[in-house]
Amino acid sequence: MSSTQVLIAEIDGLEHATDAATLRLKSRDFFWFSPLLKPQLDDCRAEISVRPHSVDEVMRLASAAARTRTPITVRGGGTGNYGQAVPLKGGIVLDMGALDQVIEVKPAVGTFAAGATMLEIDKALAPHGQELRFYPSTRKQATIGGFVAGGAAGAGSCTWGQLSDAGAVLAVEVVTVEEAPKLLKLEGPDVLKVLHAYGINGIIVSVTVPLAPAHPWAERMIAFDTLEAAARFGQAFTEADGIAKKLVSVFDPRIPPKLGRLGRKVPEGKAAAIIMVVEPQAAAMEDMARAHGGEIVFARDAEGAQMAAFEGKGEVGPLYEYTWNHTTLHALKRDPAITYLQLRFPPDSNLEVMGRLAEHFGDEMLMHLEFQRRFGRATFSALPLVQFTSEARLREIMAETEALGAQVSDPHTYVLNNAGWKRVDAPQPEFKRQADPYSLLNPGKLAE
């Protein structure tokens, strides 16, 4: 009897699949954004996909994996870009999508099963007059467990900061992988044991986060003569604490043509900004944009924006689906030679450093800025589009970027220790030993 057959016998009654089509689908994420990761990970497959429907079933699976020493790669929506949902050593891909319940909602706080998508959570919160503070551009597919395990920021971070900010995640429940699995609840600073740990430190089964009062978010796209003018507006608007905002994204003039129908609304040669602003204050935002030379080229009221997000209705999709790494996705559809980087800028000189990079690289790097608060400071990170020619040149671009004053997180490696500032944040190596004593979780992703 093969090891997979032994495991199947151990998990009798749990939903699972071993057919080639399912294993290919469930063994992939968006690693193909990287021309370096694509050939390395394209052929990686799990031997079995398991889809538990309860915490008890997760614990049964964890026990069986421990007894049979079978590797586990935990998967949410598969929307990450670094191959962290890809099983390097076969074994089990653990699809958490069926654990999608809203467990509890109270004023200003909610607890959700790890497989619940961010969009479905917000739909469930709407009757309570509450919403998630922030979510990724992949809101429709991304699960809250996957976001906590591998995300960092998103729409809403211009107001609420990062997942790593104190209080952004209040509690998580984690199943350990051992013969007799435990269900551990981590609260307060202890959430750092699994936050941004990419599924190597236990199986997250629920997440508790603070909530915000629901706002009527209107959408705008604004054209500017130059990238510098758009960026100055983005900085000023993010710093305007009196105006409630959900999204502030800025694009080099060469990017809008890569954004399909929405991008065609921007006059040729113009930079652009995408904004989500509370509807009663949209006029105040527009006045600020015009003071920076901006022209409103697309406007949608809050009702229309919510219909686009919740019901898929509208001239274009929700505008957040053109921002963050969705920008890269739209560009890749039109130019497969494009890839991207992830950059962090010093808050005190972010505009200056951005200008140096834009001048230095010209057509080789197109700036895409996402404004956010980092530990209380208004700044931006960047997901620039990069013209790919060779690995050697890509490495040179990263080195030159660092020399010009920006920090690079390398999205072209699946080895977490090598990813610059986007490395595993989880402290306490002893927690890995406690939660995964046989090192079965996401093996191969940490350098020895």
More confident residue, 405 or 429: 405
Angle between helices 3-10 and 55-68 (to 10 degrees): 150
pLDDT of residue 338: 95
pLDDT of residue 419: 54
Distance CA 442, CA 448 (A): 14
| Mean predicted confidence (pLDDT) in 289-304 | 98
Quick count: other Cβ atoms within 10 Å of Cβ 19? 9
Distance CA 71, CA 47 (A): 10
211-244: pLDDT as tens digits? 999 999 999 999 999 999 999 999 999 999 999 9
pLDDT of residue 34: 95
pLDDT of residue 66: 96
Distance CA 233, CA 240 (A): 10
Share of the chain above pLDDT 70, in %: 96
pLDDT of residue 429: 65
pLDDT of residue 426: 55
Cβ 10 vs Cβ 2: under 8 Å: no
DSSP 3-state of 413:
coil
DSSP 3-state of 349:
helix
Tell me how far apart the terminal alpha carbons of the chain are, to the nearest angstrom: 32
375-418: pLDDT as tens digits? 889 999 999 999 999 999 999 999 999 999 999 999 999 887 65
Distance CA 338, CA 368 (A): 13
Closest CA to 215 of 144, 296, 136, 159: 159
82-134: pLDDT as tens digits? 888 999 999 999 999 999 999 999 999 999 999 999 999 999 999 999 999 99
What are the backbone angles phi and psi of residue 195, rounded to the nearest 5°?
Answer: -65, 130
Tell me which residue has tokens 């208004």: 378
DSSP 3-state of 247:
strand
298-327: pLDDT as tens digits? 999 999 999 999 999 999 999 999 999 999
For residue 255, give the amino acid letter. I
63-75: pLDDT as tens digits? 999 999 999 999 9
Q: Phi/psi class of residue 261: alpha, beta or left (left: φ > 0; alpha: ψ in -120 to 50)?
A: alpha
371-to-109, 275, 350, 413 alpha-carbon distances in Å: 25, 10, 11, 25
Share of the chain above pLDDT 90, in %: 86
Tell me which residue has tokens 């020399």: 403
Distance CA 137, CA 267 (A): 24
Q: Which residues contact residue 59 at a Cβ distance below 8 angstroms, ignoring those fewer than 6 apart?
A: 175, 181, 183
Quick count: other Cβ atoms within 10 Å of Cβ 104? 11
Q: Radius of gyration (Cα) for the chain, nearest Å?
A: 22
Distance CA 17, CA 226 (A): 52
Residue ranges of alpha helices (H) inside 126-167 are 144-150, 157-160
pLDDT range class, residue 2, cuts 50, 70, 90: low
Distance CA 186, CA 218 (A): 36
Distance CA 171, CA 103 (A): 13
Please say if the pLDDT value at position 1 is more than 90: no
Residue ranges of alpha helices (H) inside 173-324 are 227-239, 260-263, 282-291, 302-311
Distance CA 175, CA 64 (A): 13
Distance CA 352, CA 133 (A): 30
pLDDT of residue 99: 98
